[in-house]
C-alpha cells in the first residue's frame, strides 16, 4: 500500500494538515518518523499493556510531541522508552467481526477488554465503507440506545477513549479514530446513569445555569460527597454513585448550556475550570504536583475545541458533548475527596528553573517537555494548557 494518505488502517501525517495547536516549522522527517512508529504501534500492540486496564499511551505521546515540533530522534526515543512493556494484540475472530453488523452481537461483547482487536477491525471496515464522519454520527451521536451507550463509554477510563478519539479527529487520522471507537467499546458504561440523570433533571430546573467553578465550590461544601468517595475501589462507581447519587446529580444538573451560541465561551470556561482545579488542588506542606486523575480533565480539554470545528457534527451533539465533559469533571473533582482549591498556590508560584528569555513564555516549557521521560501525560498537559491560554 502506498503511503500517500491516511486511511482506516494506515497512519499518515501530512504537513499542512495541522492540528489545533502546534509549533511551526515541523519538518517532513518528523512527520515520517511519527507516522512509521504510530503505524507500528497500530499493528503490533494492544490498546492496553496489561490485564488491569492500563492504557497504551504511545499514540497520544507521539502525536503530542510531533505537534510540538519534536525531532525524529526525540520521537524515536520516547517510542523506545515505552514500547518494551506493550503487549501484542489479541487474536481476531473473523466470524465475530462479521457478526457485529447484528446490533445484538455488537452489544454482546461491549465492555470486554478481550475483544478490543475485534472491535477495531469492525470499525476499520465500517470507516472504509462509510467514512469516519458517518460512522461517528451513527455509532456515537445518533441519540439512540446504542449511540448513547457508546457515548457514555467514551467518558470512561478517566476520559481515555474520548482523548483517543479527539487525537484521531484533530490529527485527521481515521486509523486513530477506529482505535478510539474500539477502545470505547471495551470500556464500561457505568457512568451513564450520572449523565442521563443530570440531563433529565436539568430540563426541570428554572433560573440561570451555574458556572463550573461555582459548582466546584458547591461540591466542596457538600462534605458527604468527600466522605462517600473515601472507599477502596472505584471512588465514583463504588463510592459516590452508591451512596450519594442523588446529591451528585443534583449538583451537576445545574450546569447546562442554553444555546449553541455559547459553545465557544463555555468551552473556554471548561478548559479554564479544569486548569483551575487541577492546578489549585495542592497541599501547602507538599511539593507542587498535579493530581494524576485531574490531569486527564485538562488533557482532554483541547479536543473540545476540535469538536466545535466539525461541520458534520450537529450543534445539539456539540452541546451534549460539552455538558457531559463539564459534569464529568465536577464528579471527578469530588472523587478525589473534594480538596481545598488554593488559588494563591498558582498566583504566587515562582518557577524553580530560570528561563532563556525567549519571547514566547511557553518555549522553555515545551523544549523541556519534549525531552521529559514519561508516557506522554506531561507533554499532553503542557500542550493543553498552552492551547487553553490561546482560547
Q: Which run of H or E residues covers position 166?
A: helix 156-170
The contacts of residue 234 (CB under 8 Å, 6+ apart) are none
Cβ atoms of 304 and 325 closer than 8 Å: yes
The contacts of residue 203 (CB under 8 Å, 6+ apart) are none
DSSP for residue 48: B
DSSP for residue 239: I
User: Which residue is it, cell 500517500?
Assistant: 4
What's the rounded Cα separation, in Å, for the pair 229 and 233? Answer: 10
pLDDT tens, residue order, the chain (391 aa): 344 699 999 999 999 999 999 999 999 999 999 999 999 999 999 999 998 899 999 999 999 999 999 999 999 999 999 999 999 999 999 999 999 999 999 999 999 999 999 999 999 999 999 999 999 999 999 999 999 999 999 999 999 999 999 999 999 999 999 999 999 999 999 999 999 999 999 999 998 999 999 999 999 999 999 999 999 999 999 999 999 999 999 999 999 999 999 999 999 999 999 999 999 999 999 999 999 999 999 999 999 999 999 999 999 999 999 999 999 999 999 999 999 999 999 999 988 888 888 888 899 999 999 999 999 999 999 999 999 999 9
Domain ranges within the chain, ordered by starting residue? 1-188, 192-349
User: Which residue is it, cell 508560584?
Assistant: 349
The phi and psi torsions of 44 (rounded to 5 degrees) equal -105, -10
What's the rounded Cα separation, in Å, for the pair 164 and 101? Answer: 23
Cβ atoms of 215 and 205 closer than 8 Å: no
| Confidence at residue 361, expressed as pLDDT on a 0 to 100 scale | 87
CA-based torsion, 108, 114, 118, 124: positive or negative: positive
CA-based torsion, 276, 305, 388, 374: positive or negative: positive
Compute CA distances 8 → 11, 106, 175, whole Å: 8, 19, 4
Cβ atoms of 173 and 41 closer than 8 Å: no
Q: For residue 113, count CB atoms less than 10 angstroms from its CB and return exposed for 0-12, middle for 13-18, buried for 19 or more.
A: middle
* 20 Cα distance to chain centroid: 15
Q: For residue 238, count CB atoms less than 10 angstroms from its CB and return exposed for 0-12, middle for 13-18, buried for 19 or more.
A: middle
What's the rounded Cα separation, in Å, for the pair 387 and 304? Answer: 11
Q: For residue 184, count CB atoms less than 10 angstroms from its CB and return exposed for 0-12, middle for 13-18, buried for 19 or more.
A: buried
Cβ atoms of 93 and 53 closer than 8 Å: no
User: Which residue is it, cell 479514530?
Assistant: 177
DSSP result, 171-206: TT-HHHHHHHHHHHHTS--TTHHHHHHHHHHHTT--
Point out which residues pair with 48 in neighbouring strands: 55
SS3 content of the chain, % helix, strand, coil (to 5): 60, 0, 35
Q: Which of 388, 292, 357, 386 is nearest to 69 (CA)?
A: 386
| Confidence at residue 358, expressed as pLDDT on a 0 to 100 scale | 84
Give counts: helices (H), strands (E), the chain. Answer: 21, 0
Cβ atoms of 248 and 334 closer than 8 Å: yes
Task: Record the cell numbers describing residue 189, joined without a space.
Answer: 458504561
Amino acid at each position: 500500500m502506498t503511503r500517500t494518505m491516511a486511511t482506516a488502517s494506515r497512519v499518515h501525517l501530512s504537513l499542512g494538515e495541522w492540528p489545533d495547536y502546534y509549533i511551526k516549522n515541523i519538518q517532513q522527517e518528523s512527520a515520517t518518523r511519527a507516522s512509521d512508529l504510530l503505524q507500528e504501534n497500530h499493528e503490533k500492540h494492544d490498546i492496553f499493556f496489561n490485564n488491569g486496564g492500563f492504557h497504551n499511551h504511545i499514540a497520544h505521546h507521539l502525536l503530542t510531541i510531533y505537534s510540538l515540533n519534536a525531532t525524529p530522534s526525540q520521537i524515536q526515543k520516547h517510542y523506545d522508552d515505552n514500547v518494551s512493556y506493550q503487549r501484542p494484540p489479541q487474536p481476531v475472530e473473523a466470524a465475530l467481526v462479521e457478526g457485529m453488523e447484528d446490533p445484538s452481537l455488537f452489544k454482546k461483547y461491549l465492555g470486554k477488554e478481550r475483544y478490543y482487536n475485534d472491535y477495531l477491525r469492525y470499525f476499520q471496515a465500517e470507516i472504509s465503507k462509510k467514512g469516519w464522519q458517518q460512522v461517528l454520527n451513527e455509532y456515537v451521536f445518533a441519540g439512540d440506545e446504542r449511540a448513547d451507550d457508546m457515548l457514555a463509554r467514551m467518558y470512561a477510563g478517566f476520559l481515555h477513549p474520548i482523548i483517543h478519539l479527539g487525537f484521531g479527529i484533530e490529527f485527521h487520522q481515521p486509523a486513530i479514530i477506529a482505535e478510539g471507537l474500539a477502545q470505547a467499546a471495551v470500556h464500561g458504561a457505568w457512568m451513564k446513569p450520572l449523565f442521563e440523570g443530570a440531563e433529565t433533571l436539568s430540563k426541570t430546573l428554572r433560573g440561570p445555569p451555574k458556572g463550573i467553578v461555582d459548582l466546584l465550590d458547591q461540591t466542596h461544601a457538600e462534605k458527604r460527597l468527600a466522605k462517600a468517595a473515601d472507599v477502596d475501589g472505584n471512588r465514583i462507581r463504588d463510592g459516590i454513585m452508591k451512596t450519594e447519587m442523588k446529591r451528585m446529580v443534583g449538583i451537576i444538573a445545574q450546569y447546562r448550556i442554553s444555546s449553541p451560541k455559547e459553545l465557544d465561551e463555555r468551552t473556554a470556561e471548561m478548559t479554564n475550570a479544569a486548569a483551575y482545579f487541577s492546578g489549585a488542588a495542592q497541599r501547602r506542606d507538599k511539593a507542587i504536583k498535579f493530581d494524576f486523575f485531574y490531569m486527564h480533565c485538562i488533557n482532554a480539554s483541547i479536543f473540545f475545541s476540535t469538536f466545535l470545528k466539525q461541520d458534520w457534527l450537529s450543534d445539539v451533539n456539540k452541546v451534549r458533548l460539552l455538558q457531559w465533559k463539564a459534569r464529568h469533571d465536577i464528579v471527578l473533582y469530588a472523587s478525589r475527596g473534594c480538596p481545598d482549591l488554593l488559588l494563591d498556590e498558582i498566583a504566587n508560584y515562582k518557577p524553580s528553573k530560570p528561563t532563556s528569555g525567549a519571547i514566547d513564555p511557553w518555549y522553555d516549557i515545551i523544549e523541556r517537555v519534549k525531552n521529559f521521560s514519561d508516557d506522554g501525560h506531561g507533554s499532553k498537559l503542557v500542550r493543553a494548557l498552552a492551547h487553553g491560554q490561546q482560547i
